[in-house]
Amino acid sequence: MNRNIYICLSVIFIVNALCLTLSADFLPEANWKQYGLEYGQSICGFTNSTPKIDGKLDDWKYAIWVAFDSKNELFRGANAWKGKDDLSVTWSTMYDDKTFYFAAAVRDDKFAPSNDPAQPWLGDTIFLYIDWENQRVEVSSKPAFAKIKGKASVFDFSTGGKNPRLSESSISIEPNAKLGAEGMIYEVAMPLEFLTKVKITKGSIIGFTPGYEEGTDNPEGKGGTVFMDWGAVNPDDAINLGKLIFGEALSVDTTGKLATTWGNIK
């Protein structure tokens, strides 16, 4: 009898362990190449369900992900960057009728944010450089995300402060042990009305790149400061930005559909 109870408990334990493993948080890998995209192009997929802004990426399983994980993305710090485990950023975007969503899984050995909310760029900060008009003349929106004194915030660094309500956006920046000693997940929901008057719909194309600023104060004491973006360019010049196309609804079988969409619009 005791032996049966032991076997029974063992089975329950193993099944539980399997369930926990299967329900572990989703972590992304770059998948943009599957969609027939060139380097510097990605797709912002439409989401039918509102992602929960909680620093967990289970609601981003079907999104299109891009990785900044090589010297091709080092605008600054080619001699200071020590490789993927030092800093690499896998990022994605989604949208719905009202909101522009951004997420990033940041692999990092040391997270060293600024202490000064007026100068988040002194430490770890993510910027977005957005040219809504896609005229390649002006970076029209420049949100930034940082966790300062334990509080995750959205900042507006657009020229002339064009997006003053951005600070009301929802944001979560949470550690994730699977992303290195001090890796972080960023998850942000920015109402489109806080960002632009341009009507964003399926087929819209914008100039875009995230930029990862490791901190102009060089808090990790490296041989130089590190800044990563799409193509190692100066992202403050709109002409240098990558392209983000607003696409179809994301789903399990997104791959074929989105590749067709991109092909049609090119």
Residue 75's identity, in one-letter code, is F
Quick check: 52 binds Ca ion (CB under 5 A)? yes
Q: Using the rule CB under 5 A, give the single segment among 43-51, 65-73, 156-164, 257-265 that binds Ca ion.
A: 43-51
Quick check: 56 binds Ca ion (CB under 5 A)? yes
Interface characters, 157-186, with Ca ion (x: CB under 5 A): ------------------------------
Quick check: 61 binds Ca ion (CB under 5 A)? no
Quick check: 76 binds Ca ion (CB under 5 A)? no
Name the minimum Å distance from CB 51 to Ca ion: 5
> By rule CB under 5 A, what count of residues binds Ca ion?
10
Name the minimum Å distance from CB 107 to Ca ion: 9
* Among 45, 47, 59, 134, interactor with Ca ion by CB under 5 A: 59
Q: How many CB atoms lie within 10 A of CB 225?
A: 17
Q: Compare residues 182 and 236 and give the one whose CB is closer to Ca ion.
A: 182
Q: Compare residues 223 and 263 and give the one whose CB is closer to Ca ion.
A: 223
Quick check: 85 binds Ca ion (CB under 5 A)? no
Q: Compare residues 184 and 195 and give the one whose CB is closer to Ca ion.
A: 184
* Among 73, 108, 124, 156, interactor with Ca ion by CB under 5 A: 108
* Among 31, 110, 198, 200, interactor with Ca ion by CB under 5 A: 110
Three-state secondary structure readout of 152-172:
EEEEECCCCCCCHHHHHCEEE
